[in-house]
Amino acid sequence: MPAGIDEASIKQAARARNAGAGEAALELARRKAAGVERAGAVVIGCDQILLRGADWFDKPPDLPAARRQLQALRGRTHTLETACVALRDGRDIFTHLARPRLTMRAFSDAFLDAYLAAEGDAVLACVGAYRLEGLGIHLFERIEGEHSAILGLPMLPLLGFLRANAMIID
């Protein structure tokens, strides 16, 4: 369910107080969960910020921006600050921050253009302008971290929490 939060203003406020990308991702996840909270229900919110050095990356608004973003990431390592928060009645009951590290290979501009032509607007829904579950895997030479955290939801820690708290069958 969409939470209807103003992500840009939350990120801007986080940066203004010198919060790290991980802290900002946790705040975004918490606000998303709070935005759809239902009495007594466990509500899970997640968010991701791509961090390359000190630079934060957002979902690109269009394909030219996606191309520029992928050029900036090409041949370099970045981190996905992937946050997951579960709330019940306004209280945090689970908080997790995963930090997968991904290294893009030094692909050619011709490859980049072919990739964007094949993936099209689908890359605009991804903070890294790549879909690892699709052709985006071809962009990388090394990946460290849980696959589901790279996709935006650190499932193994979340499932462990749900099992430990008898919210799903063990």
Which residues belong to the active site? 47
Cβ within 8 Å of residue 65, ≥6 positions away: 129
H helices of 80-166, in order, are: 109-119, 147-151, 155-164
Structure tokens at 57: 């990356």
Q: Using the CB atoms, write b or e for 95-113: b if 16+ within 10 Å.
A: ebbbbbebebeebeeeebe
Angle, CA 100 vertex, CA 116 and CA 121 arms, to 5°: 20
Residue 1, burial from CB neighbour count under 10 angstroms (0-12, 13-18, 19+): exposed
Report whether 49 contacts 81 (CB < 8 A).
yes
